[in-house]
């Protein structure tokens, strides 16, 4: 199930104009089952329309993020990743040394995020962020 129309309605309600470019971009990221870079979105956009500019892709994705319809995060490969909220909350533990990624289960983080929301009146949903540190392999192989 796609939230595509929900997203468009919410944007319209916020006073944004619905353009053909935005419809195409939102449809792509809403239907895609994974997070994507702006360039990956752009490739799918080209299959549907030949004249949408990469700047419009960036602007539309960032607009979604600012309005809570998507999240962006550092994917670690030099490109920013975008995803809609339907992927659910998750935290990535990214090793600063080897780059390996461990996914924190939803159960482990829910209590923390609820506490944040209670204490700070801050709506964390959707959330998708990374914590940097050292994985056990890299830590155990250190000289000191």
Partner DNA sequence: TTCCTTGTTGCAAACATTCTCAATAAAGGA
Partner DNA sequence: TCCTTTATTGAGAATGTTTGCAACAAGGAA
- Which of these ranges, 26-34, 59-67, 105-113, 126-134, lies near DNA under the rule CB under 7 A? 59-67
Closest approach of DNA to the CB of residue 79, in Å = 4
Q: Establish if 10 lies at the interface with DNA (CB under 7 A).
A: no
Q: Establish if 121 lies at the interface with its own copies (CB under 8 A).
A: yes
Q: Establish if 56 lies at the interface with its own copies (CB under 8 A).
A: no
Among 12, 48, 96, 103, binds DNA (CB under 7 A): 12
Name the 3-class secondary structure at 90: strand
Name, in order, each residue with C-beta under 8 angstroms of 43's C-beta and a sequence gap of 6 or more.
none
CB-count burial class (<10 Å; 0-12, 13-18, 19+) for 99: exposed
Closest approach of DNA to the CB of residue 65, in Å = 9
Closest approach of DNA to the CB of residue 136, in Å = 24
d(CA 89, CA 112): 12
Q: Establish if 55 lies at the interface with DNA (CB under 7 A).
A: yes
Nearer to its own copies, 86 or 115 (CB): 115
Q: Establish if 14 lies at the interface with its own copies (CB under 8 A).
A: yes
d(CA 144, CA 141): 9
C-alpha distances out from residue 75 to 47, 99, 106, 139, Å:
25, 10, 19, 22
Query: Which does residue 116 touch among DNA, its own copies, none (CB within 5 to 8 A, set by kind)?
Result: its own copies
């Amino acid at each position: 199930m796609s939230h595509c129309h929900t997203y468009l309605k919410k944007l319209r309600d916020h006073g944004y104009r619905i353009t053909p470019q935005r419809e195409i971009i939102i449809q792509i990221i809403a239907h895609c089952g994974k997070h994507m870079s702006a360039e990956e979105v752009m490739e799918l956009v080209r299959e549907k329309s030949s004249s949408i500019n990469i700047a419009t892709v960036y602007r539309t994705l960032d607009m979604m993020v600012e309005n809570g319809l998507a999240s962006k995060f550092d994917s670690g490969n030099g490109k920013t990743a975008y995803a809609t909220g339907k992927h659910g909350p998750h935290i990535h533990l990214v090793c600063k040394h080897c780059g390996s990624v461990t996914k924190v289960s939803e159960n482990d983080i829910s209590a923390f995020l609820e506490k944040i929301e209670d204490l700070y009146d801050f709506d964390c949903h959707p959330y998708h962020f990374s914590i940097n540190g050292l994985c056990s392999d890299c830590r155990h192989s250190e000289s000191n």
